[in-house]
Structure 1
Amino acid sequence: MNRSFPALARLHARRYPLMAPQDFGKLAYQSEFGPGHMVSDPALALERLLTECRGLTPDCLHRPPEPIGGGLCRFHLEPAHLSQEGLLPLVSLLFTATACRHTGTRAGLEERLESLLALDIPGYPAWLRDYRAEDCPALHHSEAFRSAYHPHYRVLERDYVNFLFVLLAIWPLARGGRPAVVAIDGRCGSGKTSLAALIAALFPCNVFHMDDFFLPPALRTPERLSQPGGNVDRERMLAEVLLPLSRGEDVTFRPFDCHAGRLRPPVSVPFRPLTVVEGSYALHPDLAPQYDLKLFLTCSREEQRRRLLEREGPEGLIPFLEKWIPLEERYFDALRPEEESDLTVDTTGFFQDPESL
């Protein structure tokens, strides 16, 4: 548990002054265990979600998603969600996926509950003793909280909510039954690989990485490297991956080994209707016509540097600052892939521990 969970609880207390000890306990329980205790049947989960949303009144207040710690947030329901095609079935899928992926432990719950004692919540110590005597079951909100704030939400993984409208755009492609290819381009450190992994965890698909298509040394002529994006083998990506996919065929390709500086043996990938191509230069004009959905991810320079430093370490950051970022920016400036994308997502505020908010 992040030590700042009490600070997160204070944030909720400021938003909801009528929080009772039970509501603080529910916050700790959800943060640790997610929504797993509420999910038994995905079809029933969707039915309950639709029923709840239909019962909301038009004056229901808009509330943005709220972090609850543990990589989770509360996604608040609104009547308008009923009119957004596919949104509630997707939210139900994400709710079920969150329940499957997020389990938690009794020890983790105890740590969170204990940390709340530092907040001097009126009545909390006595409530906690009674709650522990009951063996810490799942909790409802207090009557005071329900009457004052009318909570209607689902607990979802934070990253699902961050990328909700990206997933909503992919949803019909994943269910369409015909070949579809999604491309994710953008700045290094903006979350392209993380988004591709998230998509693959939710929808049956294949993922191809542009890093596997760096230009082999024999092809790195001055003329080629002078081209924006010339350092990737887009011809091989087109011939070995994208064109076979367009014909509904299996893919056999040769990944480039960056450390050895040569192509590795061929890899065979059985065809799947949905494919994701992720990595810088994915939206090069020579490749862009092959995609059904084009995504561009970006983030601030400061956040990019922070993430790369965390991921690569001080020494590993240097090549990015001196070589890879300048090459990317030249490609972005010359070929403007962001302007040709269907969706652009600024991830500057993503991937941070919500308990630090």
Structure 2
Amino acid sequence: MLADACARGARTILIGGRSGSGKTTLARAVAERTGHRVVHLDDFYPGWGGLVEGSRMVARDVLAPVNPGFTRWDWGNDCPGGWVPLEPGEALIVEGVGTLTPENLRAARRRGPCVTVRVDLDAETRRARALARDPGFGDWWEYWARLEERHAADTANVLSTVDLVVTGR
């Protein structure tokens, strides 16, 4: 379905869901078939408390019509890193917790046709996957899970009105 949407001209795919659900895996698989560039919010959340700001950066920076890009977060030094430029109008897959907000959807639609996707998976499997991928995440799991819960509970977000729901494996 996603590859078909891209073939029909989708310029932006927004993939959201909770940590460990399979967002990155899905984004990479779709990118391989479509040639869309993948942008990961993990690359620019401003630290462990940065879910809200990282989400805002999607519309403001990543999907900006002029000089799009983002400031990479240097996780090792816990500070901003360098600017990563994107090509204006480049076909993108933007994936991460916080991707599916009204502001991001409006910004994506200004670029042209877009598709929204939510990836769901049970909490136990998500946690096991996330910690296997990044053992340092264990110290932050509960804190980040509360941020994710606030995002999911925000009635203004578009998690419940996506074009496609994928159940992770």
State the identity as a percent: 28
Q: Relative to structure 1, is the Cα distance of residues 265 and 175 closer, same or farther in structure 2, using a 3 angstrom cutoff? A: same
Amino acid at match of 1:258: W
2:148 aligns with 328
**Counterpart selection for 1:237 from 58, 68, 77:** 58
RMSD: 2.6
RCO comparison, higher one (Cα < 8 Å, 6+): 2
What SS does structure 1 have at the residue aligned with 2:100? Answer: coil
Which structure has the larger Rg over C-alpha atoms?
A: 1
Q: Relative to structure 1, is the Cα distance of residues 191 and 287 closer, same or farther in structure 2, using a 3 angstrom cutoff? A: same
2:35 aligns with 204
1:174 aligns with 7
1:260 aligns with 77
Alpha-carbon deviations, 1:254-289, whole Å to 9, x = none? 212222222222223335642100000001222122
Alpha-carbon deviations, 1:323-348, whole Å to 9, x = none? 1111101110123532121111121x
What SS does structure 1 have at the residue aligned with 2:140? Answer: helix
Amino acid at match of 2:38: V
1:303 aligns with 125
The 5 A counterparts of 1:84-233 are: 168-176=1-9, 180-215=11-46, 229-232=51-54
TM-score, normalization by structure 1: 0.41
What SS does structure 2 have at the residue aligned with 1:208? Answer: strand
Amino acid at match of 1:340: T
Instruction: Show structure 2 runs of 5+ residues with no match.
Output: 109-113
How many pairs were matched up? 163
Once residues 252 and 275 of structure 1 are traced to their aligned partners in structure 2, the CA distance between those partners, rounded to angstroms, is 11
- How much has 1:250 moved relative to structure 2? 6.3
